Structures are given as structure tokens and as C-alpha cells.
Structure 1
Amino acid sequence: MLSNLTAQAPDKILMLIEEFKADTRQGKIDLGVGVYKDPQGVTPVMRAVKAAEHRIWETQTTKAYTGLAGEAEYRSALASMILSEVPADRLASVATVGGTGAIRQALELARLANPDVRVFVSDPTWPNHLSIMKFMGLPFTEYRYFDAATRGVDFEGMKADIAQAAKGDIVLLHGCCHNPTGANLTLDQWAEIAAILETSGAIPLVDLAYQGFGDGLDADAEGTRLIAARLPEVLIAASCSKNFGIYRERTGLLMALAENTAARDLAQGSMAYLNRQNYSFPPDHGARIVSTILTDEALRADWAAELEEVRNTMLGLRDQLATDLRDLSGSDRFDFIAHHRGMFSRLGATPEQVATLKTDAAIYMVGDSRLNIAGLNRDTVPILARAIIDAGI
């Protein structure tokens, strides 16, 4: 049987990681993998996370299963962080295996509710969005999003394409810090998208993987909150990997806002059912870390302060890189880097130019020229800036 399997194409980012590891050159720079790194190149364990884990270790008396939906305290605390005001009579939620698991369960839920569902997804988007949909056999349509000339959002194209979604379709939106481009919607633009979805009856699925990495915890959730307040049905897939730095704990949450209490109860039962079919009980350790932090005033304050340090570090690197490139190029064509938010920006380089950066300067980034700002530090920014100019970008 196993000999009948078809070889799968390797993941390009994972291949890049292995290629980077094998490179023996001194001073090589990894801007490919999507994890936060401090100026020393380490993905740290946050102070509040360490403290929460110590408290859990001291007080936890069992490793028995939690519920199919995960611990209620975790779901409530994270929903409150995301939505601020939680409409309990409309909200169903389940803990998931990371943000990726939340996306998968959201798409499973959408298909369960509408076997003919189509998904509208930004061009470009996180590659795993497309991979999951292709594996599930879900039909999807790409909507215009990134303007290659301005390195901003092609908002008129986006609106025109999203307007083609019909009642019961899913429109997948990045809540903040768009991956891979770093180009975000303004709050006014979120309002226009909400109006289009109100008219069409299409349901937004908000992928909120980077809350706190862009303009701040509350600012990064403004678009999601607006959508949640305006529309009768909303799906939200949240990840704690980035903002709590617990990547390997696989801690996510799927929320479904329903039109009324009866629909909420149906959604809650269906989401628990899907958890049971896919992995039964969701992982608990990361969720317990998050709930411990969010429900303790001192831990939450320390976590929020460290998250601000992370955010401001990335903003400082953006400003430094944009300034260095302006000085070297004698133009403002790279100023978009300072305006983007989150870990990523898309440079707009060709695959050949990206290959030149790797070959000539040992600088690794994804082939579409997505670079991870958090892979830089103050010493490597000038090296990257010079390499970008030398590569003719």
C-alpha cells in the first residue's frame, strides 16, 4: 500500500531552513523562517510565560483530559483579549492545535454548513492557506490585494473582487500584519469591506495570527472588532504562537459569532464534533499558560510590556532599513518598509534577485521576496541594505 503513495512537493520555507543550516559562510542572514528573533538571533521564552509555567508546575495536580472544546477559562480570556466586549449570547469557541488548526477547523465548519462553499483569499496569502484548501478540495478564488507598484493594498481591486462572493461563501481576511506582504487595511477600509459583506451575505474568516506585532494589542484587533460588531456571522482563527512566543505549544482558538443563541449552540456543538474527529481533545499546556497570564494582573502587565518591546524592536528595524535604503538609493522607493507592519514585508524583488542575495551575500529570504524583519538586528540592517542595492532591486 505505502508504495502507492505519491511523493509530495517539499515545503519551500522548510527547504530554505535546511539550505541556510548547510551554508558554512560566516555572517549569513536568515530572513526566511517566520519566527521572532531577538537581537542575539534567539527566539526567547517570554518572562511571563516562564513565570506562568512555573506556577502551573507548582499547582497542577492532574494531566487528565480537558473538554473537547478546551478549557473555558482559556477560551474566555483569549476571546476577551481579541474582541474586548464579548457577545456571550452569540459566541461559540474551541481550542485548536495552533492557528493553523483553527484555520483548518474553520474551513471544515464552513463546509459542514455549506457543502458548496467557496473561499475568497488574498493574492498573495500565507501559502499554507492555499495548501490546506487544495488538500481539502475546497474551491477558492483569489482576490486582488497587493499592489506591486506601490507595495501597498490594491483596495479598489480588493473591493471589486470580494463583491463577487455570494451568500454562504467565505472571505478569508488577515486581521493585521498581512503575511506575506506587511501591507494592512486602514480602519476605514475595514468598514468598507464590512459593508460589502453585509450586502452579499458572505462570511468573513479573520486569520488573526499577529495581534500585538503591528500597532499594539488593541489597535491590531480594531478591524476584527469592527467586523464582529457589524456582521451577524463571523469566524475568527487566532494564534498565540507569535504574541506569546509559544510556537511549539500549538495554541490556537477558533471563534464563531452566530446570529442568535440557537445558532451559537449549533456552532458550538459542531465545532466540538470537529475537534473530536480531527484530534479529539485539544492540547492544554499552551492554553493554560495563556489563561494564567491573561487572568493575572501582574503577569499580564509584564507580558504586555515585553510584547511592546518586541513590537518596537521590529518598528525600529523597519525605520532603520528604510532610512539606509533611502540614503543608498537616493530615492524614497523603499519607504514602504517603514509603513508595513508585523514581521514581514515583500520587497518586490524578482526570484533571480532573491537568488543573487543568497549567492552573493548569504542572505536568505523566500523566493517571492518576503523578508522577516525580525531576522535582522541593528548590525545586519546595513549589510542587507547594501546587498539589496547591489542586487539591483
Structure 2
Amino acid sequence: MFETLKAQPADKILALMQLYRDDPRETKVDLGVGVYKDATGLTPVMRAVKAAEHKLWETQDSKVYTGLAGDPAFADAMFTMLLGDAVPRNTTAAAATPGGTGACRQAFEMIQMARPDARVFVSDPTWPNHLSILKYLNIEVVPYRYFDEETRGVDFDGMIADLKTAKKGDVVLLHGCCHNPTGANLNAAEWDAVIEVLLQTGATPMIDIAYQGFGDGLEADAAATRKVAAAVPECLIAASCSKNFGIYRERTGLLMVVAADTSALTLNQGTLAFLNRQNYSFPPDHGARLVTMILNDDALRADWMAELEEVRNTMLGLRTALASELQKLSGSDRFGFLAQHRGMFSRLGTTPDKVEALRDKHGIYMVGDSRMNIAGLNAESVPILARAIIDVGI
């Protein structure tokens, strides 16, 4: 029977990883894979995570299943970190998921269950897996303008014009902070305008927040998500712990459904549990338990926050250094957007042929749409990248 299967398109980032591995040049630079790397090229285990794992090893006396929605303590801890006091806890259903991808998948499944004809408005560009999952589920995608190729900032007028075409029953997918793949973010006033459009159209927002703490700080990065959740009748929030806790392989995520009042809580929570049961039954617990331990222990939380700030400031420093080096080499401010972007990624806004030239001539590996992982740089590779960018005429 399986001879009827069709070959699926290769993952571009995984293919890029293999090309990088096969490149013998010592000066090659990997800016493709979306993981944080320190100055030595290592993705370290955070100090608080190691401490929590040691404590868990000493104290855990069972590996029995958690509930279908995961440990409620994890949901409580994540709710506080993400939403603070923006909305009441007893209006918000939550379920642990296998990473942020799992949270997005369950959110799209819930949308499909609730509104089979729903359209999902998605930024152009967005994280490719958003589009892949939506296509697989046969959910209609409506792109909205987002990235301005000239300014390398947000095409806000285009975004608002496109979002005004949404209607009640549609979903607007938003990046809570550190937009992937562009690094270009909305400011506070622009978020207010987006909320106004959501209220006018009746469309439901879904916020994907995978990089809290990587942009302007843990609290600042949650501000837009909190503002949206407090302003609209209901919303979906898909969160990932992969980046800010550095627990990529533990697959730790959370999906939250915020309602206007407590009356919808039982139905929403039951639906999340049902969806988990259909896909994988009980969600993974190890990473979720580590996150819970860290967020609920004053000493572990303080150490985690301090290290997270080190990570954030390292990326900001690399952004500033690259923008400065490019200004020196080009004699212009046209690369200043790199210092203004936030998070792991920036999009250069150049053509695939120039991205290919960066790879072929200089061993610089980034995704074909010119998205680059800023965290893949270090003090030695910043000038290498800057010279390469100027050499290929970006």
C-alpha cells in the first residue's frame, strides 16, 4: 500500500545543515539553524536547568503519567510568567504540549474543530512550520503584509489594511515578540492599532511566543501578549520553553485558551485534554517539571533570569557589532536595521542568488530567504560576515 505515498519536500534548514557539515573551509559560518550558541559554538545547558535536574534526580520517586493536560503546576507557572495579572487564571484553559510546535498544532486543530471554515491570517513571511501544518490540515491561509524589503522593518500600513479584511470566525496569527524569521517587531502603538482592528473585525488572535526573554527582557517581551489577552474576548497562546530555558530536546510547550469569563473554562479545558489524547495522550513531563521547579524556586529563578539576560545581551552585542562593522565597510547606515531587530533572527532582505553567493564564495550558510541566526555569530565571525555581505553586493 505504501507505494502510493508521494515524496515530501525536503526541509530546507536540515538540507542546509548537511551542506554546512560537508564544507571543509575552516572559516565557514553556520547562521541557519535556530538554536542559541555561545562564543565557542556550544548550545549550553543553563545553570538553573542543571541544578533543577540534579534536584529532580534526588527527589523524584515515580515516572507515572501526569494528566492529559500535563501537570497543572506547570500551567500555573507558565501562566504567571507569560500573562502575569493581565487576565484571571480561572478564565484560562491550558495544556502542556511537545514543544511550541505541538502547541501550534493543537491550536490549529482546536480552531478546525470550532470553525471548520475558519481562515487563518498569517504574516508574510512567517515560521515555515506554521504554513506546513495549516496546509496539512487543509485550513485556508490568508497572508498579510508584514516585512518591508526596503526598510527591513514592518510594513505596518499594509499589515493593517490586510487585517481589516478578516471577519468573525477568522484567526489572526501573531508573533508575540522576536518575529521569526525577520526580527522586525511592532511597537506599543502599533500593537494598540492591531488590537483595535481585532475588536472591529471580531477575528480571534492566536499568539505564538517562542522567544520570551530574547528580545527586550522577560517582562517587556510579554507585554504585547498581555495587552492582547486583556483586550479581546478570547485568544489562543502557543508558548515554547525551548529557547529561553535552553531545553530544545525536552520538547516543552504550552497551549493556553483565554476566554472572556469562567463559563467557557470547562469546555475549553476538556477540548484541550481531548486533543492531547488523540495525538499523544499524556504530554512529556521532564522539561515541564524542570521549568516548574525553576519558576517556583526563588534562587533557581534568579539564576535562570540572570543567565537569560546574559544570552539576550550577547545577541544584542552581536547585532550592534555587525551593524557597526557594516557601517564602517559600506560607509552608509543602510544596515542599521540589524541593531533594531530583536531575537535570534534577522532577515537581510536580499535575493536567493546573493545568499547562494555568500555560501559559495565565503562559506556563509543562511536560509535562502536571507534569514540568519544572529546567535550563530561570535567576535571572530562578525567581520567575516560583514566583509562577505559587502563583497556580494547586498
Match of 1:155 in 2: 156
Bigger shift: residues 84-93 or 264-273: 84-93
Match of 1:111 in 2: 112
Equivalent pairs: percent with the same residue? 65
Give the drift of 1:197: 0.5
Partner of 1:131, secondary structure, is: helix
Match of 2:3 in 1: 3
Distance in 1, Cα, partners of 2:162 & 2:265? 29
Distance in 1, Cα, partners of 2:261 & 2:46? 39
Give the drift of 1:109: 0.6
Give the drift of 1:224: 0.3
Provide the alpha-carbon RMSD of the alignment: 0.6
Distance in 2, Cα, partners of 1:309 & 1:99? 23
The 5-angstrom pairing of residues 26-45 of structure 1 reads: 26-45=26-45
Give the drift of 1:386: 0.3
The 5-angstrom pairing of residues 280-291 of structure 1 reads: 280-291=281-292
Match of 2:251 in 1: 250
CA contact (8 A) 2:315 2:343 kept: yes
Q: Residue by residue, what CA displacement relative to the aligned partner does 1:28-51 show, whole Å, maximum 9, x if unpaired?
A: 100000000000000000000000
Bigger shift: residues 11-20 or 261-270: 261-270
Give the drift of 1:92: 0.4
Distance in 2, Cα, partners of 1:10 & 1:140? 21
- Indicate yes or no: 2:271 matched with 1:270: yes
Match of 1:81 in 2: 81
Distance in 2, Cα, partners of 1:88 & 1:390? 54
Distance in 2, Cα, partners of 1:187 & 1:220? 11
Match of 1:96 in 2: 97
Match of 1:379 in 2: 380
Partner of 2:116, secondary structure, is: coil
Partner of 1:152, secondary structure, is: coil
Distance in 2, Cα, partners of 1:51 & 1:164? 50
Give the drift of 1:144: 0.3
Give the drift of 1:361: 0.6
Q: Residue by residue, what CA displacement relative to the aligned partner does 1:88-134 show, whole Å, maximum 9, x if unpaired?
A: 22100000010000000001111111111110000000011000000
Distance in 2, Cα, partners of 1:71 & 1:182? 33
Q: Residue by residue, what CA displacement relative to the aligned partner does 1:177-224 show, whole Å, maximum 9, x if unpaired?
A: 000000000111111111110111100000000000000000001100
Partner of 1:256, secondary structure, is: strand
- Indicate yes or no: 2:23 matched with 1:54: no
Partner of 2:224, secondary structure, is: helix
Distance in 2, Cα, partners of 1:262 & 1:84? 21
- Indicate yes or no: 2:371 matched with 1:370: yes
The 5-angstrom pairing of residues 206-355 of structure 1 reads: 206-355=207-356
CA contact (8 A) 2:79 2:89 kept: no
Q: Residue by residue, what CA displacement relative to the aligned partner does 1:59-86 show, whole Å, maximum 9, x if unpaired?
A: 0000000000000111100110000115
Give the drift of 1:308: 0.1
Partner of 1:265, secondary structure, is: helix
Bigger shift: residues 160-169 or 237-246: 160-169
Runs of 4+ aligned structure 1 residues displaced above 2 Å come to none
Q: Output the TM-score relative to the length of structure 1.
A: 0.99
Partner of 1:371, secondary structure, is: strand
CA contact (8 A) 2:97 2:252 kept: yes
CA contact (8 A) 2:178 2:344 kept: yes
Distance in 2, Cα, partners of 1:212 & 1:115? 35
List alignment gaps of at least 5 residues for structure 1: none
List alignment gaps of at least 5 residues for structure 2: none
Give the drift of 1:4: 1.2
Give the drift of 1:260: 2.0
Q: Output the TM-score relative to the length of structure 2.
A: 0.99
